[in-house]
């Protein structure tokens, strides 16, 4: 029931926000902005009717979808996962309140990442940002077997020295 409630709240917020958006007039120019001179086809713009036929669109779409799916998938099981995985290695520390706080910290990090990466994307460009996402994930995922081994092989818990 709570998932349906939050879904309805998100839907209401998105739909009401969509009604507040207005398309500017064709003569509108932001103050202080001078449009670049038009010199033929620059090759940087793709017509909306052909964009889905380009491999770049599908690569960006796939990267974005996998990033979002992975994060949301992890957050959907974070509370039970922290309870099942870490209760034996950190007895007394992992409670329902701790697991809920862990989930809220993940959600806060998700929000901060979305806002932070949007700001980075504005500075370094969309393509460079997606490259950082994709290539930056490689060392993180490559280090997981080592990290998991360190947690599992330490009977005193992950906070004790190995």
DSSP class of residue 24 equals: P
Q: So what's the pLDDT on residue 123?
A: 92
Q: Which two tokens stand for residue 36?
A: 């670049």
pLDDT one-digit tens code per residue, 108-140: 888 898 899 899 999 999 889 988 988 988 998
Given pLDDT bands bounded at 50, 70 and 90, which one contains residue 24? confident
DSSP class of residue 52 equals: G
| Cβ density class 44-69: b for 16+ within 10 Å, e for less | eeeeeeeeeeeeeeeeeeeeeeebee
User: Whole-prediction pTM value?
Assistant: 0.48
Q: So what's the pLDDT on residue 15?
A: 94
Q: Where do the structural domains in the chain lie, given as residue ranges? A: 50-154
* Dihedral angle over CA of 51, 54, 56, 62, nearest 10: 80
């Amino acid at each position: 029931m709570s998932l349906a409630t939050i879904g309805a709240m998100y839907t209401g917020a998105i739909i009401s926000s969509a009604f507040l958006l207005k398309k500017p007039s064709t003569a509108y120019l932001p103050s202080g902005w001078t449009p670049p001179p038009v010199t033929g086809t620059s090759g940087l713009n793709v017509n909306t009717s052909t964009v889905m036929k380009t491999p770049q669109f599908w690569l960006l779409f796939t990267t974005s979808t996998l990033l979002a799916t992975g994060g949301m998938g992890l957050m959907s099981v974070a509370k039970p996962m922290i309870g099942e995985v870490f209760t034996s290695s950190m007895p007394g520390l992992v409670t329902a309140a701790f697991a809920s706080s862990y989930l809220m910290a993940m959600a806060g990090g998700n929000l901060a990442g979305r806002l932070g990466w949007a700001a980075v994307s504005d500075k370094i460009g969309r393509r460079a940002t997606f490259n950082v996402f994709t290539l930056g994930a490689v060392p993180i995922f490559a280090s997981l077997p080592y990290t998991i081994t360190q947690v599992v092989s330490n009977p005193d818990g992950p906070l004790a020295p190995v």
